[in-house]
Amino acid sequence: MQINVFASSTISFFSQEKLPFQPNQLEMNFFQQLQDYAKQHSFSLNLDPHLSIAAIIYSKEIAQNKTAMSAGLLEYSLFEAGCPEANVFPYILRFSQEKQFGKFIPEILNTFILQNANHCGLGFSFDEKDNSYVLVILGAKKHVVLEPFPKTFTQIKRADLKGSLLHNYKNLSVVITSPKDKIIILAPEIKNDNFVATITFDQSPGKYRVELIGEEALGPEVLSLFSVYVNTTPPLIPVKKIYKDKKNYNSAFEAEKLIFDLVNTARIKAKLNPLILSPQASDAARYHSEDMVAQKYFAHISPYNGQEFTQRLQENTDFAVTSIGENIAMDETLNNAHQSLMNSPAHRANILNPDFTHLGVGVAFKTDHKGKVIYYLTEGFFSKIKDIKSEEYLNFILENINKQRQELGLDPFIINLALSELAEKHSLMMAEEDNLSFSIGGQHLFQKVQKAGIKYKYLSVNIFAFNDPSYKKYLFSPELEQGKFKEIGIGIYQKDSKKFGRKAIWLTLIFIE
């Protein structure tokens, strides 16, 4: 059987270096055995040259330099080979005779199937001191093929991240974290299955994390993740701790408290307000973690009932929420699960989002085929919508509007009480009918102004409905930029809406000269 290791559809890599790869006879034999066993179980497995280079670096470090097997070594090996880190897992074997490899094949393939990994790299080295073989197998689930991207920047700090999607992912985004914890989110340009995003790294020297996120039927997924070093030398082998737990957590309550404390510790360190624990959101998060264990999947949306976080939260809460976010993780330790989320730009952005006020944490347990306990973690972030105080909120809106007018060099609006009374009545009627419309009760808003006998030279109106008090799209009203308008009427009413959500805010603005 011929094995093509130079297929054009290799694992997505980002290095500009052209690293040669030709597997030796032992590596070919090992892969042949793996592939034969995979075919017997109707599973496709491809040997990837870039992953294999990373596996060779990994195995040599263990065999020749006695480097400890750690997350730092995996990151280093992938970086040197130009491979992204997302969806890559290592399998390390030591044995004294080649024939011993066969007994590990079922276990290895089992792991590949569970991880849905269809690409692998093999790296073989001989430890002369211990007189044993070290074999590193790197498995990967492949989502995307990236064009070469620089690993380091010195002068030019701008480059295009280009690639092609291997599946039909939607809402593609690139999330970057800087050494100073600045988070940047970009929307790539997409044409057919190809995409491009121009990334500009700021002047801060250090390590940047670049992550590609896409959404499929079961929710968002990390498609690629790698490090870029700007105006600094990459470390030979990154010092990266394996984050162990101080004890075994057999109680979901204890495990959830640890995660909650870790999240708030990270927020306080970033000078953000700590989150408030939500028991209802924790129930929703725990249900999802337990469902992932019971139904054997790992995703934001259940493939069995189609529920996503917003729906689970609404079923378990009786209050209105906004600014929703969810993290999920799966690991052998809770501390490592938390750290893996902190190392991912998109998940870190949820943990350090200044807009979130509440958090629900749910943990479930699973024992794998080796007898190890695996923790399934769900974190549900949100902001709770409060009842607005009409007068305070009206002043808040007027302040924002006049601030924008001032920046444009225009006079501030003067509140017209008669207009505000009309605007408030219109907002009330829209809320009662749950209908965002200029015509309510058989009359257009223009007619109501005319009927009230309010004199004007120019008249314009605008209406909005939303359930996030921080919403400011009313600032895009064209009337704000027109000096001819001098007076304003503002009407606000808050009421639950089937169309716009709980505690929806209905806003009417009337402008005149």
Nearest-angstrom CA–CA distance, 326 and 360 = 9
Nearest-angstrom CA–CA distance, 71 and 89 = 10
Q: Which domain holds residue 448?
A: 390-512
Same domain for 158 and 193, yes or no, is yes
Same domain for 346 and 440, yes or no, is no
Q: Is residue 214 part of a domain?
A: yes
Q: Is residue 177 part of a domain?
A: yes
Contacts of 455 (CB under 8 A, 6+ apart): none
Same domain for 209 and 181, yes or no, is yes
Same domain for 213 and 307, yes or no, is no
Q: Is residue 6 part of a domain?
A: no
What is the predicted pLDDT for the residue at 100? 74
Which domain CATH number covers 223? 2.60.40.10
Same domain for 259 and 379, yes or no, is yes
92, 120, 141 — which closes off a domain?
141
Which domain CATH number covers 50? 3.40.33.10
354, 384, 414 — which closes off a domain?
384
Same domain for 404 and 470, yes or no, is yes
Tens-place pLDDT, residues 268-315: 999 999 999 999 999 999 999 999 999 888 889 888 888 888 888 877
Same domain for 91 and 159, yes or no, is no
Same domain for 459 and 493, yes or no, is yes
How many domains, the chain? Answer: 4
99, 123, 141 — which closes off a domain?
141
Tens-place pLDDT, residues 104-159: 888 888 777 777 788 888 888 888 888 888 889 898 888 888 888 888 888 778 89
Task: Give the E-state strand segments of 385-486 in sequence order.
Answer: 414-415, 439-440, 443-444, 459-466
Same domain for 279 and 225, yes or no, is no
Tens-place pLDDT, residues 31-78: 888 888 888 888 888 888 888 899 998 888 888 776 555 557 788 888
Residue 14 pLDDT more than 70? Answer: no
Phi, psi of 123 (to 5 degrees): -135, 120
DSSP 189-233: EEETTEEEEEEE--S--EEEEEEEEEEETTEEEEEEEEEEEESSP
Tens-place pLDDT, residues 150-208: 888 887 788 999 999 988 899 999 999 988 888 899 999 999 889 999 999 876 888 89
Same domain for 198 and 167, yes or no, is yes
Q: Is residue 244 part of a domain?
A: no
Mean local confidence (pLDDT), 245-274: 90
Same domain for 416 and 328, yes or no, is no
What is the predicted pLDDT for the residue at 7? 30
Q: Is residue 291 part of a domain?
A: yes
Predicted confidence band of residue 3 (pLDDT cuts 50, 70, 90): very low
Rg of the chain over CA atoms, in angstroms? Answer: 28
What is the predicted pLDDT for the residue at 16? 41
Same domain for 407 and 344, yes or no, is no
Q: Is residue 120 part of a domain?
A: yes
Nearest-angstrom CA–CA distance, 248 and 270 = 29
Contacts of 254 (CB under 8 A, 6+ apart): none
Share of the chain above pLDDT 90, in %: 37
What is the predicted pLDDT for the residue at 69? 54
Tens-place pLDDT, residues 457-511: 999 999 999 877 777 888 788 888 888 999 999 999 999 888 888 788 999 999 9
